[in-house]
Amino acid sequence: MPNWTDLKCLMHLARSQTMTNAAFALKANVSTVSRRLERLNSSLAEPALVKFGNGWKLTPYGDKLAEAAAHFQVSLNRIETEEINGDNAKQVSRKITLSAPHVLVSAYLSGFFAGFADLHPGIELNIVAENKHERTADGTVDLALHLERPSKGRLMCRKVGVLQTGIFAKKSTHPTKWIGLDHSMDNWPEMERAKQIFKSEPELRINTLECIKSAVEKTGWAGLGIDALYPEHQGWKTIEADAFAGENKTLDGLKSSYAREVWLVYHETRRHDAALRYVCDWIIQVFQKSQFKKDNIGSHESECRI
């Protein structure tokens, strides 16, 4: 009978495709994972792995074993959930890693961290401020918030809200220059829109929206951002191009801004993971209590599988 820990190494290698990512997901080092895979391979009647460069590649038999291990993990998670929900359940200490764009962490989640810690003292939240879609699929993070719906991977996803993006400036200013995101984000619709409005490339590029706002405050220029960072009652305005006059004009409200959906995403093998479920429920509630409450977004959305 194969060792379960060895099978988990196989499962994570199949999921992440690289030894480095598998080791990261297992919170182990690459050499330990490699030794376990070698031990697993030698214990089987038929090879599950073949050497591939400095690592391993799954055989068709290995793919079947990895799939079986994934189904077994789902069953274990379901049993754990039932036990945790039972009358005599004890709090299990767990670490859950959440990947999310920096602006979502600072503008929305940060104000609710203390409440989560009080409610779930046994769960340690590990926040990675980034916007990398592949991290959920390869298992290097437990769940993620994305600014668009993922299109591939064995993922469960749920829309938790909608962000309104735009080009913002102080009401007292009439900027002719603007600050945008770095070159890697030039294909974002928001960047294209700003270039059309100002008929120029950005005067300055910064890779986080919070730093863009800080620079906007210091320079008096306009900057790319989201409505949560530029509330109208604090003296901010949204800038839009007047197609007829060819000039910039201020529009009340956010009617012309670009809407970005916020998606909560995790791997389908974790759908019965109780600790993960607690974090998901908390995130949904955070967005319901924040700017999305007025639209009641998230309360009626259901999870879907990609």
Please check whether residues 145 and 273 belong to one and the same domain. Answer: yes
Please check whether residues 131 and 271 belong to one and the same domain. Answer: yes
Please check whether residues 171 and 244 belong to one and the same domain. Answer: yes
Segment 229-255 shows an average pLDDT of 64
User: Alpha-carbon distance 200 to 184, whole Å?
Assistant: 17
Indicate the residue among 222, 238, 259 that finishes a domain. Answer: 259
Domain containing 155 equals 94-159+267-305
Q: How many domains does the chain have?
A: 3
Please check whether residues 22 and 144 belong to one and the same domain. Answer: no
CATH of the domain at 291: 3.40.190.10
Across the chain, what does the average pLDDT equal? 83
Residue 89 lies in a domain: no
pLDDT in tens, 124-155: 999 998 877 667 776 788 999 999 888 777 88
Positive/negative CA dihedral, 136, 290, 160, 149: negative
Sequence-distant (6+) residues with CB within 8 A of 220 are 169, 170, 173, 175
Residue 298 confidence (pLDDT) above 70? no
Q: DSSP for 58-88, please give it.
A: E-HHHHHHHHHHHHHHHHHHHHHHHHHTSTT
Please check whether residues 215 and 242 belong to one and the same domain. Answer: yes
User: Alpha-carbon distance 239 to 77, whole Å?
Assistant: 49
Q: Which two tokens stand for residue 55?
A: 């690592």
pTM of the model: 0.68
